[in-house]
Amino acid sequence: MAEYDIVCPVREGAANAQLRYALRSWAANLPHRRVWLVGYRPPWAADVGHVPIWQTGTKYANTTAAVRVAIEHPEITERFILCNDDFFAMKPQPAELPVYHRGLVRDVEAYYATRGNGAYLRGLRETRDLLARLGHEDPLSYELHVPLPVSKAGMLNALETGRHLDVLHKRTAYGVLAGIGGEYMADVKVLRRAPRTFDANSPFLSTMPDSFAHGYVGQHIRRAFHQPCRYEARRRC
């Protein structure tokens, strides 16, 4: 049995079909000991650990709070796999999950700068500047929509180092400060419904609510994981 738990921050909401299929994909392809939902637990979710938290901040503050609570929880393994509820493991993964990065932060910044100047881009720049002040002049980005293995001690150090930032890019802060290295992967987030916007052979996929519900990528994921898994109550809710 794998020694790592999976930790997944979950926003308050309705049925959350993406989470249902994410759990099916983890049960099939992502070796782990236990799944922990931090925040909200849908009524259909079964055989998962649950750590409720108040979600009164921005989505960035809420997920950071969820990760901190997971770090402090004594029953969660010292190393865990950090996931979002829209991460899908499409192919079997080894017990020691590989580490992936997105390339240099400056290149990721250039991409997002063409799409506007919102909170996410501001947080990227502030995280980059923080890392530069600490001696990491040209850091890698770990803001991929794929599972990330983390250590509690390393992630806590990242959160403490960047606690003054309201939009800390915590995966990047963790990856750079902990020196985890890894190999390059293009991001797998699928934003649109069209059939040619994703790689059907990718080991991981991630979706937006619309692309999952109405796009070709959602059809692809639902076909791959059409059977309920152990994390769903027998009576569908």
pLDDT tens, residue by residue, 115-158: 877 999 999 999 999 999 999 999 999 999 999 999 999 999 99
**Calpha distance 141→42 (Å, rounded):** 32
pLDDT at 14 over 80: no
57 close to 71: Cβ distance less than 8 angstroms: no
Give me the torsion for CA of 181, 29, 208, 211, rounded to 10°: 130
Percent of the chain with pLDDT over 90: 89
In tens, the pLDDT along 178-219 reads 999 999 999 999 999 998 889 999 999 999 999 999 999 999
Secondary structure (3-state) at 204 = strand
pLDDT value for 237: 37
Helices (H) then strands (E): counts for the chain: 8, 10
What integer pLDDT is reported at residue 2 of this predicted model? 60
